[in-house]
Amino acid sequence: MCFFFSVLPATVWVILGYFVLFSSTKAEGSTRTFGRILAIWVFVVAAFFPVMGAYVTLADLCPVEKVIQQMKSG
């Protein structure tokens, strides 16, 4: 369940990364290089969300499932 909730922030970060990458293509010199490096870091952060969401889900540490179970039983 946490994996599916981690897709939304990952999507936001990917969109931000593409915006930074697109903006860096319009720049010149060292700004272009810095923009590309920044875009790579933003994509790494975007990949971090689904990876950690999958880990939390597979390790059965997801608090969302526990809350849903409490709502069903209560």
What pLDDT, in 10s, does the model give residues 10-65? 999 999 999 999 999 999 999 999 999 999 999 999 999 999 999 999 998 988 87
Q: With bands split at pLDDT 50, 70 and 90, how would you rate the model's confidence at 70?
A: confident
- Which has more pLDDT, 17 or 1? 17
Residue 5 and residue 62: Cα distance in Å, rounded?
11
Ramachandran region, residue 62 (left: φ > 0; alpha: ψ -120 to 50; beta: rest): beta
| Residue 24 and residue 41 in contact, taking contact as beta carbons nearer than 8 Å | no
Q: How many C-beta neighbours within 10 Å does residue 73 have? A: 6
Q: CA dihedral defined by 47, 52, 55, 58, rounded to 10 degrees? A: -90
